[in-house]
Amino acid sequence: MALKLNPLSFQSPKLPSFSLPQTASSRSPKFVMASALRSGSKEVENLKKPFTPPREVHVQVTHSMPPQKIEIFKSLEDWAEENILVLLKPVEKCWQPQDFLPDPSSDGFYEQVKELRERAKELSDDYFVVLVGDMITEEALPTYQTMLNTLDGVRDETGASLTSWAIWTRAWTAEENRHGDLLNKYLYLSGRVDMKQIEKTIQYLVGSGMDPRTENNPYLGFIYTSFQERATFISHGNTARLAKELGDIKLAQICGMIASDEKRHETAYTKIVEKLFEIDPDGTVMAFADMMRKKITMPAHLMYDGHDDNLFEHYSAVAQRLGVYTAKDYADILEFLVGRWNVEKLTGLSGAGRKAQEYVCGLPSRIRRLEERVQGRVKQAPSLRFSWIFDRELQL
């Protein structure tokens, strides 16, 4: 999940982004062409598109890891089995969405639904926009499994491969699949949101994919997932906290359970990168710096609902205002990872490695300084209608 903040920070070319890719406007050339062809409303234009065009993406670099390094991942097969696969939870011990939802086979079903809807009345529209955005992000899971399977040396070559890497990816996906399921069913039952608009957004998003700039390179890929799992841990943790404050203990529990999965996944991905630092400190620190220079693009950055061309940015602005995921969190995650991987203490690096080390270690404070400057210039935030909440207006 995650974020873009305010219009000013978005314009800063230096600011690390919780933001959309900076190479292109939020409209793809195809969108621009479509509007140039006239035809009044965007709804009409959209009806003419047979499928979702990819929205803005960067120039795509592929296979940037030198092929000989694939051997590193092959040699880590047994290590991954002993250290990473053990972080998965057996299915029989996992919670399932049904554990937190009204039981449709019970006599008390309607009563339980009524209670859920009563509790949901206490939650604000802005809270729902953030929760919907988080849910949509989870629901684009096919994209994330695809992304993991783009990575050289660790991809699932057959769909049922028995390498540790492939087993991890499938089981990780299976665990993650519960997150979108649970939030989707909760939101449906709450009656507070426009499910059809949300479902359209999910379909657009899965059709658009994502552009994380990981270049088929598992160094970049696992640094990216380390960052992302922590970002989702933080944001689901914050939606849990807010639900509790607003009196919806059951929803707090739902978001909290999801957050704890994210934390376990963060542990796995950061452990893989820790191992890469041990085997290849130079290559790993340079990959870390490369990923941070490019900025961590959030998984749902290509979000679109058929109406709002900057939907992700707008949802992110609400999440920032509510404190669910903020620019400060971005800097905090980076600082956490620098510490987690002992980047400051790396020795024996090449000249380029030392430069990369210096860059990532200095980056959290640079981000914070820039963000403070931007915050000082922020003017009154505009308001906007969100299709997810029946076009009601919210302040960004």
Q: Provide the annotated active-site residues.
A: 95, 138, 176, 179, 229, 232, 261-262, 265
Helices (H), 121-163: 125-139, 141-148
Q: Could you give the string, one character per residue 135-154, with x where binding to Fe ion holds by CB under 5 A and - elsewhere?
A: ---x----------------
Q: How far is the CB of 304 from Fe ion (least distance, A)?
A: 21
* Contact window for Fe ion (CB under 5 A) among 11-19, 229-237, 282-290, 325-333: 229-237
Of 85-93, 163-171, 230-238, 280-288, which part binds Fe ion (CB under 5 A)?
230-238
- Binding-site size, Fe ion (CB under 5 A): 7
Interacting span for Fe ion (CB under 5 A) from 185-193, 197-205, 232-240, 358-366? 232-240
Q: Give the one residue of 181, 262, 305, 313 binding Fe ion; rule: CB under 5 A.
A: 262
Residue among 261 and 282 whose Cβ is closer to Fe ion: 261
DSSP code of 156? -
Contact 311, 201 (CB under 8 A): yes
CA 136/CA 128 separation, integer angstroms: 12
Listed ranges 2-10, 40-48, 120-128, 261-269: which one lies at the site for Fe ion (CB under 5 A): 261-269
Tokens 């499910």 label which residue? 195
Q: Name the residue nearer to Fe ion (CB basis): 156 or 229.
A: 229
Q: Which of residues 263-292 bind Fe ion (CB under 5 A)?
A: 265
Shortest reach from residue 231's CB to Fe ion, in Å? 9
- Angle CA(123)–CA(266)–CA(124) in degrees, nearest 5? 5
> Which stretch in 81-89, 134-142, 216-224, 284-292 sits in contact with Fe ion by CB under 5 A?
134-142
201 or 387, CB closer to Fe ion?
A: 201
| Residue closest to Fe ion, measured at CB | 179
Nearer to Fe ion (CB atom), residue 170 or residue 179: 179
Among positions 164-183, residues that touch Fe ion (CB under 5 A) are 176, 179
Distances, alpha carbon 179 to alpha carbons 225, 255, 344, 390, in Å: 17, 9, 35, 24
R_g over Cα of the chain: 21
DSSP, collapsed to helix, strand or coil, labels residue 384 as strand
Interacting residues of 185 by C-beta distance below 8 A, sequence separation 6+: 97, 101
Residue number, 56 or 262, with CB nearest to Fe ion: 262
Q: At its nearest, how many Å lie between Fe ion and the CB of residue 111?
A: 30
What CA–CA distance (Å, rounded) separates 175 from 90? 10
How many Å from the N-terminal Cα to the C-terminal Cα in the chain?
18
Q: Which window, 108-116, 222-230, 340-348, 368-376, contacts Fe ion (CB under 5 A)?
A: 222-230
Contacts (Cβ under 8 Å, ≥6 apart) of 59: 23
DSSP codes of every residue in 228-257: HHHHHHHHHHHHHHHHHHTT-HHHHHHHHH
Q: Containing H/E element for 385?
A: strand 383-386
68 class by beta-carbon count within 10 Å (0-12 exposed, 13-18 middle, 19+ buried): exposed
One-letter amino acid for residue 302 of the chain: L
Q: Which two tokens stand for residue 3?
A: 């974020």
Smallest distance from Fe ion to CB 2, Å? 12
The least CB distance from residue 134 to Fe ion, in Å, is 9
Q: How far is CA 243 from CA 176, 198, 250, in A?
A: 21, 21, 8
Q: Is the CB of 264 or the CB of 354 nearer to Fe ion?
A: 264
Q: At closest approach, how far in Å is the CB of 292 from Fe ion?
A: 20
What does the per-residue mask of binding to Fe ion show for 178-217, with x meaning CB under 5 A? -x--------------------------------------
- Least distance between Fe ion and beta carbon 270 (Å): 13
Select 319 or 396, whichever has its Cβ closest to Fe ion: 319
Asked if 305 interacts with Fe ion (CB under 5 A), we say: no
Contact 215, 62 (CB under 8 A): yes
- Least separation in angstroms between CB 138 and Fe ion: 5
235 residue type, one letter: S
CB 248 within 8 A of CB 100: no
Q: Which is nearer to Fe ion, 138 or 181 (CB)?
A: 138
* Interacting residue ranges for Fe ion, rule: CB under 5 A: 138, 176, 179, 229, 232, 262, 265
